[in-house]
Structure 1
Amino acid sequence: MFHIIHKRKLWYIISAAIIIPGLISLFIQGLNLGIDFTGGNITEVKFKKDVTTAQVREVVKEQGLTDKYIQKSTGGVFLIRTEVLTEEENEKMLKALDEELGGMTLLRNNKVGPTIGAELTRQALLALAVASVLMVLYITWRFEFKQGIAAIAAILHDVLVTVGLLSIMQVEINSAFVAAILTIIGYSINDTIVIFDRIRENLALKKGMKIADVINISLWQTMARSINTTGTVLFVLAALYFFGGTTINNFVLALIIGVTSGAYSSIFTASPLWYDMLDKKRRQKAVKPTA
């Protein structure tokens, strides 16, 4: 059983090796924003024959267009979201859908601006800021201030890992992405608090033991719980990703990345950072002022 705290620099290096390429990708190519942020065309059609989502997507791609979102509802009705189309591109797509899929009826065809965009971004950042302050206050009251800072740092780690990897993979970002990020934050902080609670219990039971050893014991005592919980969640998410359809794939992928990162940061980021803050304070106290 290796000592997690003594190897904390290794965990920092692993995190940096994932986060830094993601930040570079964000700076160079940014995020692949969906229609909710950039605007586009919304087309609703009803086919005379029974067709599949894959068939509709193939016809759209044959016209040189990128489907942002295709959803099938009852009665052969499809909702198709694409990038902003010219009149010529729009007519070409509708003609192809009609001819290649056995005829259709156009129910709706609108060009929309960003439905969420800057407003949602501001609201999401505000929600994140408020949640962070409240979590720091709660953890300070329940444990101590430095643990609150370490927990927020772990959450920031998870957000950067998730956003960075999605930028590298150029996965489309839509309104569901905000929900995924908030879910990841909730999952990560829950696991971190469980670990901090065990550390607090062991600090009372193992007085006289070095703080690094107490933290290490606490991490190993909660390791099975963290792995089992994360594994159970990932099994469900994997099933949703492979069998839930393309509509929710990007949302589920963000959760898979975030939940995995959350389990990692709760064990290998939050507690080591808290230890480093304590250790720095002890070293500062140990330095005697010169005469």
Structure 2
Amino acid sequence: MAFRLKLVPQDTRIDFFRWQFVTFGISSAMAILSVVVLVIYGLNFGIDFRGGTTIRTESTQPVDVGVYRQALSPLGLGEVAITQVYDPGFRADQHVAQVRISAQEGAESVTPETVAAVEAALKTVDPAVSFPSVESVGPKVSGELIQTAIYAVLASLIAISIYIWLRFEWQFAAGAIVSLLHDVLITMGVFALFQIRFDLTTIAALLTIVGYSINDTVVVFDRLRENLMKFKKRALREVMNLSVNETLSRTVMTSGTTLVALIALLVLGGDVIRGFVFAITFGIVIGTYSSIYVAKNVVLWLGVKRDWSKKDRSDDGSPFSGAEAP
């Protein structure tokens, strides 16, 4: 007899909408707090968006940020940020730091001569230091990257909304877009709160979150539409609960297996991809939550058509209409 692992019972009857106003209120509060955090702290833009040069140093000797900064101060480089990088995957004698130099006013990027001067200055205080990577981005390019990133996120949200509208109804599209905005906004708020580096890889992570979240939302929407045509006499809330429960096993298995891989990358993948992996990990958690407690709540309040086989749209199944489909 084959052994089959079941993380979710076969027939669940969880009332996901029992506390619908509380859950939606929490989501709204989190979104508002994210906006406040973004305004107060701002995003910790990486070199992709700020312009300048990032030098990654590596040494067998412990990093002393104060000594590094003192060695660079005579160069007159302006704003210089030096941070030590910690990672459990590093060797015992592997000490890594990042030196971030903002682009000088009127210059497209930090010149190779300046980079060479930085390397020479650091070698005077730590002869064992090496420079495995140097990344430079000019202010003009960084400004264009910010615009392109914003357009990419907005274009994806608009395209997804149109797709949901055409495949289902406008109420579904409204729920999906509110859910996606909720996911992106809260993820950015977490990045601002903890000052996690925000760069092009984070934009890629945000687009990945949007795709993952809408995939989970569409699965439940599709089952909801089937059940709405099947159970015409049931209240919309009951049909929604039924649909979420029927797809719960798939949601848990998909999210769970994805998180296993992501947590492994988060712990063992190194600091280079940590921001990217953290964004996706957090986004999957918040996206799974929002597909039920944000998208479905919006659809529940707006009401939907109860019978797609009919062209008559007078009865939209709204809880405020007070009428049931035949």
User: Shorter-chain TM-score: which interval?
Assistant: 0.7 to 0.9
Residue aligned with 1:83, SS: strand
TM-aligned CA deviation for residue 61 of structure 1 = 6.2
Say whether the 8 Å CA contact 1:36–1:175 is kept in structure 2.
yes
Residue aligned with 2:247, SS: helix
The answer to whether structure 1 residue 229 and structure 2 residue 241 are counterparts is no
1:114 to 136, 139, 150: 139
Output the amino acid matched with 1:145.
W
Distance 1:79 1:7, change over 3 A: closer
Output the amino acid matched with 1:94.
A
1:7 to 11, 16, 19: 19
TM-aligned CA deviation for residue 225 of structure 1 = 1.4
The residue aligned with 1:63 is 68
Distance 1:157 1:110, change over 3 A: closer
* CA–CA separation in structure 2 for the residues paired with 1:185 and 1:147: 16
Distance 1:3 1:147, change over 3 A: same
Q: What's the CA shift string for 1:219-273, capped at 9, x where partnerless?
A: 1111221122111111111111110111111111111111111100111111111
- What are the ranges of 5 or more consecutive residues in structure 2 without an aligned counterpart? 1-12, 70-80, 87-95, 105-112, 305-315
TM-aligned CA deviation for residue 59 of structure 1 = 4.8
TM-aligned CA deviation for residue 151 of structure 1 = 0.5
Q: TM-score scaled by structure 1?
A: 0.80
* CA–CA separation in structure 1 for the residues paired with 2:158 and 2:133: 45
The answer to whether structure 1 residue 31 and structure 2 residue 43 are counterparts is yes
Q: Which of the pair is proportionally richer in helix?
A: 1
Distance 1:222 1:90, change over 3 A: same
1:271 to 296, 300, 308: 296
Say whether the 8 Å CA contact 2:82–2:98 is kept in structure 1.
no
Say whether the 8 Å CA contact 1:219–1:267 is kept in structure 2.
yes
The answer to whether structure 1 residue 241 and structure 2 residue 246 are counterparts is no
The residue aligned with 2:123 is 97
The residue aligned with 2:310 is none
The residue aligned with 2:204 is 179
* CA–CA separation in structure 2 for the residues paired with 1:63 and 1:158: 39
Output the amino acid matched with 2:100.
T
TM-aligned CA deviation for residue 110 of structure 1 = 8.5
Say whether the 8 Å CA contact 1:36–1:115 is kept in structure 2.
no
* CA–CA separation in structure 1 for the residues paired with 2:129 and 2:202: 35
Residue aligned with 2:128, SS: coil
Give percent identity, aligned residues only: 32
What does 1:160-175 correspond to in 2, within 5 Å?
160-175=185-200
* CA–CA separation in structure 1 for the residues paired with 2:98 and 2:151: 32
Which shifted more, 89-98 or 140-149? 89-98
Q: What's the CA shift string for 1:134-158, capped at 9, x where partnerless?
A: 2222222221111011111100010
* CA–CA separation in structure 1 for the residues paired with 2:287 and 2:293: 10
1:82 to 100, 111, 114: 100
Distance 1:107 1:4, change over 3 A: closer
